[in-house]
């Protein structure tokens, strides 16, 4: 009999249930009896690989026959593929088979996800139709940094309360004024609007989320276009840098989001250094030029995707000219499971966009926030 104990904090257990990666190098204690010394030694040898820079991650899975892990972590950092069964937590190894070799005979870990420990019991080795699990190790885990720009925007927009408010804004695209909300303390508070129909956030807001509405106009030739700019603006940058940032103990928690029928965009702070008067003055000077170029883009480009890309490149160029490209991160969002009535399944998938120099000028380099 072998006892494997996982000493996890409450936060680590919650992260594990949410499918996040956690570092277990200092959290596992293996106690073996005489008859299981060989098993414990093999597993300990595997764990020792982490000292060379690899890591290992607990994966929820079960293996039976052909339902095994083909490899450890995939190149994109996703979990090992395999058959999943609620309540069973196992390791997966770098060759992934459930019998023979270094798989320890397909022994069942018997660990329930509501507990932090369990006993090692003898299994069938993966045959005979019995569900067995392989206590093996996922190596080359993706690096995890809770302060990375991707993690910050994901954490700030992933709560059920936030997603409920965000989802509700999609019903407001045809109103004659901007709508939105912000976080004040720990509460999400609706904004108001001024005489120009622009959003006004409550005092002491830590972040902001708002809609750019539809505003259909008719050209002289009889064709129509949407006269509203579906992109974050220098004014939105100003709010992020000089209105929201001072209200966050951690400046990296600050974000500002715009959603519309032509795209979702976000900006976050990625440098804790204070912003300068010169940067503030640049925003004031840039605003007029931004409005003129944006007006030309939305009147010229015929498709929403072309307008979106042109506006995004213009915004990124402005960040570069202001010396903010290493201080402000720019993201594009996409809704997953939009029609799902369970808000826990509704998700905002973020992609970080950066300006990339090319032979012909510049393009937008996109990196998914996995």
Hey, how many other C-beta atoms are within 10 angstroms of the C-beta on 245? 19
State the Cα–Cα distance between residues 45 and 25, nearest whole angstrom: 13
- Domain boundary (102, 120, 138) is at 120
Residues 54 and 156 in one domain: no
According to the model, what pLDDT value does residue 29 have? 64
DSSP-assigned states of every residue in 1-12: -EEEEE---HHH
170 shares a domain with 97: no
pLDDT of the residue at 337: 94
Whether residues 104 and 187 fall in one domain: no
- Clarify whether residues 316 and 235 are in a common domain: yes
Q: How many whole angstroms separate alpha carbon 357 and alpha carbon 306?
A: 19
Residue carrying the six token digits 């996890």: 8
Q: Is 130 within the bounds of a domain?
A: no
The confidence score (pLDDT) of residue 100 equals 26
111 and 164: one domain? no
> Within 13 Å, how many C-alpha atoms sit on residue 289's CB side?
10
Q: What is the pLDDT of residue 37?
A: 52
**Structural domain count, the chain:** 2
The first and second tokens of residue 165, run together, are: 């408010």
In this predicted structure, what is the pLDDT of residue 4? Answer: 59
Cα-only R_g, the chain: 26
Q: Is 178 exposed, middle or buried (0-12, 13-18, 19+ CB in 10 A)?
A: buried
20, HSE (Cβ side, Cα atoms, 13 Å): 16
At residue 136, the pLDDT reads 37
Domain boundary among 76, 104, 120: 120
Residues 319 and 330 sit within 8 Å (Cβ to Cβ): yes
Do 246 and 292 lie in one domain? The reply is: yes
Q: Does residue 8 belong to any structural domain of this protein?
A: yes
- Give the range of the structural domain holding residue 83, as residue numbers without chain letter: 2-120
Domain contains 143: no
Return d(Cα 198, Cα 302) in angstroms, integer: 26
Q: What is the DSSP string of 69-104?
A: -SSSS-TT-PPPP----TT-EE---SS--SSSTTSG
Cα distances (Å, whole numbers) of residue 154 to 98, 266, 347, 368 = 35, 11, 10, 11
Residue 258 in domain: yes
Domain end (from 65, 100, 120): 120
Q: Are residues 93 and 215 in the same domain?
A: no
Residue 136 counted as domain residue = no
Report the sign of the C-alpha dihedral through residues 222, 223, 226, 227, in that order. negative
Same domain as 215, residue 113: no
131 part of a folded domain: no
Q: Is 137 part of any domain?
A: no
Q: Quick check: is 222 in a domain?
A: yes
pLDDT value at residue 205: 97
pLDDT in the model for residue 251: 95
Provide the Cα torsion 241, 247, 249, 250; round to 10°.
-30
DSSP, residue by residue, 106-172: G-B----TTSSEEEEB---TT-TT--B-------SPPP--TTSHHHHHHHHT-SHHHHHHHHHHGGG
Based on the fold, state whether residues 184 and 307 are members of the same structural domain: yes
Which residues of the chain register pLDDT less than 50? 1-2, 32-36, 39-40, 42-142
């Amino acid at each position: 009999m072998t006892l494997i104990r996982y000493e996890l904090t409450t936060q680590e257990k919650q992260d594990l249930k949410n499918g996040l990666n956690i570092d277990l190098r200092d959290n596992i204690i293996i106690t073996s009896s005489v008859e299981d010394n060989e098993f414990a030694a093999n597993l300990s040898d595997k764990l020792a690989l982490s000292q060379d820079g690899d890591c290992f991650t607990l994966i929820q899975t079960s293996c039976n026959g052909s339902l095994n892990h083909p490899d450890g972590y995939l190149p994109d950092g996703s979990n090992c593929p395999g058959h999943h069964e609620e309540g069973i937590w196992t390791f997966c190894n770098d060759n992934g088979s459930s019998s023979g070799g270094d798989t320890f005979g397909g022994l069942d870990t018997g660990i329930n996800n509501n507990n932090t420990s369990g006993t090692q019991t003898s299994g069938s080795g993966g045959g005979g139709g019995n569900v067995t699990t392989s206590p093996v190790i996922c190596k080359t885990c993706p690096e995890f940094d809770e302060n990375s720009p991707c993690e910050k925007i994901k954490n700030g927009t992933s709560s059920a309360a936030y997603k409920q408010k965000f989802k509700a804004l999609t019903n407001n695209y045809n109103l004659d004024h901007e709508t939105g909300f912000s976080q004040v303390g720990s509460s999400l508070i609706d904004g108001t609007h001024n005489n120009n129909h622009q959003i006004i956030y409550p005092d002491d807001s830590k972040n902001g989320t708002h809609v750019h509405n539809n505003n259909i106009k008719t050209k002289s030739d009889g064709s129509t276009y949407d006269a509203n700019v579906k992109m974050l603006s220098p004014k939105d940058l100003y709010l992020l840098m000089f209105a929201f940032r001072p209200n966050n103990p951690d400046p990296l928690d600050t974000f500002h989001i715009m959603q519309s029928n032509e795209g979702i965009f976000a900006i976050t702070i990625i440098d804790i250094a204070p912003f300068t008067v010169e940067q503030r003055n640049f925003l004031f000077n840039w605003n007029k030029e931004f409005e003129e170029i944006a007006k030309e883009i939305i009147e010229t480009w015929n498709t929403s995707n072309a307008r979106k890309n042109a506006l995004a490149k213009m915004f990124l160029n402005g960040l570069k000219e202001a010396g903010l490209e290493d201080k402000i991160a720019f993201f594009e969002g996409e809704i997953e499971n939009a029609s799902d009535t369970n808000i826990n399944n509704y998700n905002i998938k973020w992609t970080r966009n950066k300006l990339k120099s090319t032979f012909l000028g510049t393009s937008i380099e996109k990196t998914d926030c996995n």
